Structure formats: structure tokens, C-alpha cells
Chain A
Amino acid sequence: MSELIRTDASELGQLIASGQASSVEVTRAHFERIAQVDDDVHAFLALTEDAALAQAARVDERIAAGEKLGPLAGVPIAVKDLLCYTQAPTTASSRILEGWVPPYNSTVVNRLIDAGLVILGKTNLDEFAMGSSTETSAYGPTHNPWDLSRIPGGSGGGSAAALAAFMAPLAIGTDTGGSIRQPAAVTGTVGVKPTYGGVSRYGIIAMASSLDQCGPDARNVLDAALLHEVIAGYDPRDSTSINVPVPGVVEAARRADVKGLRIGVVKELGGEGYAPGVEKRVGEAIDALVAAGAELVEVSCPHFEQALAAYYLIMPAEVSSNLARYDGMRYGLRAGDDGTNSVENVMRLTRGKGFGTEAKRRIILGTYALSAGYYDAFYGSAQKMRTLIARDFAAAFEVCDVLVSPATPTTAFKIGEKVDDPLAMYKSDLCTIPANLAGIAAGSVPCGLADEDGLPVGFQVMAPALADDRIYLVAAALEHALEAKWGAPLWSRIPELSVSDKTSDKGDK
């Protein structure tokens, strides 16, 4: 196996910049790996090998010509299939968008290309990013490289699994209620949900507009920070994009110093329903940060207990409206257009056939929450709860610099285990949802393996809006402390996947 696929993105960037490796060579190594293991993992929905090799060759040419490019130029990346990219279908893992090739690129994709990153393909997700296991994808589930019988988290399970299976050194995720952090946690990778408005949403298929945020996935904290710096920043095409300089995330990841930093432990995110192995590793992580000089503060955020309920009203309400446009008129699937059905019937048949169960469930739930007579009791109240949760955060950040908690209550569960129990599935996002409701920054960094099942545990760091750098500061400090203790990164303990001898299956996925 080529060592290139286990090399950090930051180092790959240096190798390519110094001419010790070519981007084409690095890119080919990753496609080779994808061909070998993705039949089992199923992280990718589409590969863009031709475009990728052309992008890689262009970077190599520019470097050969003496151009000075960014630190990730020539480094391959996997992109969640929720971001519009003209070189491949963008499906949101839904039948309703099967084969739809967008006529435009999302801002994030443009920034990746401009920074010289090489897009390998589009990764699997829960349909329209609605799920915590990648099982609601219309194109089949993704498997967790730590244990192929388990879920890789969701919705961004494809991106997280691509990292954990060494099919990509970097990936793009989106996070509405935990879809970056929860997959990162259960695959032992790093994922950060930036401050709402920190990364442009333009060209990213919306799930719940007031909660969605795009962010970096990587195998280590510095790589995530480097990617964060590439994709973040003001975009005039997104009205909710914040027009301020990107926080110094890379500098923070390099500094990795938590001396004197006040770390708040959220009392409400723990206890009943949390796996003992998760609580144990998270407790040790806190100890490690204290040992590195951080101060410990216990804080209470009483309304976090209502966060899940508020989320499951606000999110479906926005979903019901955002997914209305998939009606079979202008693009995507059209069903039942036999010349006799009226437009209303064709819309109904199209949506009945094109959406999966979870999408339908959330659309109907949201339709209900917004309907006349129920708005105040449901949607209106949920928005007030959102205010209370934001106030809890504001009060907590008066006494501490960051908040920490487990990223998920449990480690990766078995594929199929919770498919028929939506409520149990929803509880996977218990710890991650408050940050989305308040729009603050949060990330997950690996903190070890749970004793009971040997599966990765994620440690969540939450920081005030626009203080995304603090996530990297704490996560990097923890990463250094734990890796010193372990003697190697956590990913070195990912079991070897059986390798098929297929060389390439470009473009036919």
C-alpha cells in the first residue's frame, strides 16, 4: 500500500509544493485505494477521476512553473454529495435528484478548486442530510471502517468513512444538527461545524437553512484548520454570510496551548443515556486538558434538555419548505406524467416516489408544525426555546472560554439497529444540536476508544460565535496530549480493510 494515503494533508501539501511528490501521483494513489476498498465501505456515490487528474496535473504544472500556491494545493478531497459541482451528479442521496448535474458550482467547491485542491468525488449521506447513520441514503448505507457492520454516523457518513478508510485525506461535510461532528466522533476523525455564517451556503442543497453549516473533515486537527481556512469567509451570494475576517484557526491549531483557558463542562450533557465508555474517555480528555494548564468550570445549560424537541420542530418546518421545490417540474425525477394526470397529481406521485421515508416524515412533521392553528404551539414555541438555548450559551461563555461534552452519547451502533425507531435515532444528536440552534462554533476530536466495544469516542468543543479558533486550540492541545500518551494517532488503530484487486472503477459508481 502506498504510504501517501496515510500521510497528513498538511504534509502532502508540502511534498507536492517541494516536488517530492506530484499531485497526480497522490491523486492516483487515492483512486487506487478507493477502487480497492470502497465496494465494502461505500463512501462514494460518484467519482470524478478525469476532472481530478486534470486538476492535479494543472497544480503540478503551476508548481513546476515556480508558482507559489496554498498549503493544500494538489491535495485530494472528498465532497459531500450535497454541494453542487458541475463535474458530477449532485443527488443529496435522493432518488428525486438521481442523475441531476448542476449547471453551477457551490461557492465552497469553487474555493477548493481555486486553492488547488483535487476533488475525488461525491460522498454518500443520509437523504437530504436527514439522518444520523447514512442509512437513509437512497443509494445504500455507508459502512464504518472501524467495523463494517456499524454505521459511520450521519448525515455525513460518506465523508467521515472516506477519511477513516484512507480514501481521502480531507473531506467536506455539512452540519445541521451534528452531521459533521457525529460522524467524526464515531469514525475517530476530526470534524468542525464553523460559526453559522462562517462558510457560504451558496450552492449547498439546503436542509434547514437557519441551521445548516458547511465545515471541514480531516484525520487531524491541523488538516481540518487548513481546510477551514480555505472554505471559510464572506460570500456576497449568501445573505447570512458574515463579513468579517476568518478567525485564526490555523495559527490556533499550531499553537495548541490551553494554559489559563477556562473550560466549561456542560452538566446536562452526560449521565443517563450516555455510554460508560464514552463518559470515561471524555472525563480523561478533560483531565488531560487540565494537566495541560486549562482551568475547569462546571456550567449548567438548563434548556439544553429541550434542544432536541425544539430542533425537531424548527428543522422539519424549514425542511418542508426547502424540499417543496422537488416537484418534478424543472429538474430531477418526474413520475406519473402520462397525459391524464394533472400537475398536482404528478407532483404528488413524483414526491411519493422520489422521497424516502425519513424525508417524507420530516416534511409532514414540518407541514404540521407550520400549519395554521399549530404554529404558535410548535414552531413559535420552538423559536422561543432557541432564544433560551442561546441565552444559556451566552451565560456559560461569561464564565468560560469553551464548553466541552461528549460529541455523541454512544459509539457507532449497528447498521439497521435504529432504522425503525426514529426517536432513538434522533437522540444521536443530543449533544450536537444546541450549537446549531445558537449558531455557535463546535467541533469533535477523537479522545480514544470505548472500553466496552473498542470503538471511537468523540470529544466535543464548543466556542462562541466567531471564536472558531478556540475549537482548534483546544482540539489540537488534546490531540497532542493524547497522541503523546498513545504513542500514535488514533487512526493508526483502524483495522486493515480487506483489499479487492480491482484497479479502478472510475465514474461507474
Chain B
Amino acid sequence: MGQQMVLTRSEVAKLAALARIELSDDELDDMATQLDIILASVASVGEVAAQDIPPTSHAVPLVNVMREDVVSWTPNAEGVLAGAPVVEDGRFRVPRILDDDEEA
């Protein structure tokens, strides 16, 4: 391509870390190239959309959809834990939060 990359390999690596996705070196290379092409093709959005246009976050303009404060639930502790990778003592067991060399 010879063009200046919008998104470099190291930036993609940082984004992958932020998104908690392990990528192999090959994946990183491919990803950087493809994301760069995609970003180049979508960058035009920023040029067209003028400042005074209100952004749309919701397709349909509803407001104030609320429920009453009423307890309605079915105790289903076993069903809840059935899909868990590891369970101990009625709780979801997860790996240690900190790495060995980390301080809290």
C-alpha cells in the first residue's frame, strides 16, 4: 500500500489487550492490515457529519420506560451455576485476581 498506516501493529496489540483478546503474531499482522483498510474506508464519516447534527443513539425515540419496584424472581441457584466453568461453595470460582508480581 505504501500509505501511512492509520493503525499500527503496536496499536492493534494495545487494543487487543484492552479488549482482553490474545492474538498470535500472525493474527496481529493480518488484523493490523485489515483494520487499517477498514478504517480508511470508514473515515469519511467524520468529514461528512457536520458539528450541528444531533447524534442518534437509539433508532426509535422512546423515553421513560420503567418498571415498578416489585420483587419477582424464581430462586434457581442450581440452574444459575449449572453453566459455570468452576463452582465452589455455591459460588463461581475464578482465577486469582492479581498476578504474582502485582501488589494490590
- Residue A504 CB within 8 A of the other chain: no
Shortest distance from the beta carbon of B71 to any chain A beta carbon, whole Å: 15
* Chain B 38-67 near chain A by CB (<8 Å), digits 1 or 0: 110111111011100111111110100101
- Residue A245 CB within 8 A of the other chain: no
Q: In whole angstroms, what is the CA distance A261 to B67 when docked?
A: 40
CB <8 Å contact, A320 and B19: yes
CB <8 Å contact, A309 and B83: no
Q: In whole angstroms, what is the CA distance A313 to B27 when docked?
A: 21
Q: In whole angstroms, what is the CA distance A384 to B44 when docked?
A: 13
Which B residue sits closest to A344, measured CB to CB? B20
Q: Which residues of B contact A320 (CB under 8 A)?
A: 19
Q: Which of B18, B38, B94 contacts A367 (CB 8 A)?
A: B18
CB <8 Å contact, B98 and A342: yes
CB <8 Å contact, A351 and B42: no
CB <8 Å contact, A303 and B45: no
Q: In whole angstroms, what is the CA distance A352 to B43 when docked?
A: 27
CB <8 Å contact, B45 and A342: no
Which B residue sits closest to A334, measured CB to CB? B85
Shortest distance from the beta carbon of B44 to any chain A beta carbon, whole Å: 6
- Residue B37 CB within 8 A of the other chain: yes
CB <8 Å contact, B45 and A306: yes
Which A residue sits closest to B54, measured CB to CB? A387
Given contacts A100-B83, A360-B31, A364-B15, contact A240 B60 (CB under 8 A): yes
Which A residue sits closest to B21, measured CB to CB? A351
CB <8 Å contact, A242 and B62: yes
* Chain B 63-90 near chain A by CB (<8 Å), digits 1 or 0: 0010100000000100110111110000
- Residue A346 CB within 8 A of the other chain: yes
CB <8 Å contact, B60 and A329: no
CB <8 Å contact, A309 and B21: no
Which B residue sits closest to A307, measured CB to CB? B45
- Residue B5 CB within 8 A of the other chain: no
Q: Which residues of B contact A351 (CB under 8 A)?
A: 19-22
User: What total count of A-B pairs have CB within 8 Å?
Assistant: 182
Q: Which residues of A contact B60 (CB under 8 A)?
A: 195-197, 240, 242, 439, 465
Shortest distance from the beta carbon of A242 to any chain B beta carbon, whole Å: 6
Q: Which range contains the number of B residues in contact with the other chain? A: 35 or more
Q: Which residues of B contact A345 (CB under 8 A)?
A: 95, 99
Q: Which of B18, B62, B84 contacts A330 (CB 8 A)?
A: B84
- Residue A310 CB within 8 A of the other chain: yes
Which A residue sits closest to B78, measured CB to CB? A103
Which A residue sits closest to B81, measured CB to CB? A330
Q: Which of A303, A332, A363 contacts B21 (CB 8 A)?
A: A363
Given contacts A367-B18, A383-B55, contact A342 B49 (CB under 8 A): no
CB <8 Å contact, B19 and A367: yes
Which B residue sits closest to A422, measured CB to CB? B34
- Residue A380 CB within 8 A of the other chain: yes
- Residue A343 CB within 8 A of the other chain: yes
What is the size, in residues, of chain A's interface with B at 8 Å between Cβ atoms? 73
Q: Which residues of B contact A341 (CB under 8 A)?
A: 95
Within 8 A of B (CB), among A320-350: 320, 324, 327-334, 337, 339, 341-349
CB <8 Å contact, B41 and A330: no
CB <8 Å contact, B23 and A361: no
- Residue A500 CB within 8 A of the other chain: no
Given contacts A351-B21, A371-B18, A381-B45, contact A196 B83 (CB under 8 A): no
Interface centre among B49, B54, B79 (most CB of A within 10 A): B49
Which A residue sits closest to B55, measured CB to CB? A383
Shortest distance from the beta carbon of A87 to any chain B beta carbon, whole Å: 14
CB <8 Å contact, B22 and A361: no
Q: In whole angstroms, what is the CA distance A183 to B3 when docked?
A: 36
CB <8 Å contact, A364 and B55: no
- Residue A385 CB within 8 A of the other chain: yes
Within 8 A of B (CB), among A182-216: 195-197, 210-211
Within 8 A of B (CB), among A414-465: 422-423, 426, 436-439, 465
Which B residue sits closest to A386, measured CB to CB? B56
CB <8 Å contact, A343 and B97: yes
CB <8 Å contact, A384 and B95: no
Q: Which of A210, A312, A387 contacts B38 (CB 8 A)?
A: A312
Shortest distance from the beta carbon of A188 to any chain B beta carbon, whole Å: 29
Q: Which residues of B contact A197 (CB under 8 A)?
A: 59-60, 62
CB <8 Å contact, B92 and A388: no
Interface centre among B43, B45, B46 (most CB of A within 10 A): B45
CB <8 Å contact, A330 and B92: yes
Q: Which of A324, A339, A343, A381 contacts B94 (CB 8 A)?
A: A343
Within 8 A of B (CB), among A111-170: none
- Residue A365 CB within 8 A of the other chain: yes
CB <8 Å contact, A383 and B57: yes
Q: Which residues of A contact B7 (CB under 8 A)?
A: 368
CB <8 Å contact, A349 and B83: no
Q: Which residues of B contact A352 (CB under 8 A)?
A: 21-23
Name 11 interchain pairs, CB-CB below 8 A, sorted by A: A328-B85, A339-B95, A342-B95, A342-B96, A349-B22, A360-B21, A361-B31, A368-B15, A381-B46, A382-B42, A386-B55
A-B residue pairs, 5 tightest by C-beta? A439-B59, A352-B22, A383-B55, A384-B49, A331-B83
Q: Hey, which bits of chain B sit against chain A, CB under 8 A? A: 7, 11-12, 15-23, 27, 30-31, 34-35, 37-39, 41-46, 48-50, 53-60, 62, 65, 67, 76, 79-80, 82-86, 92, 94-99, 102
**Beyond A308-B42, A343-B94, A381-B49, 7 additional pairs, beta carbon < 8 A:** A196-B59, A309-B45, A342-B97, A345-B95, A368-B15, A380-B55, A387-B53
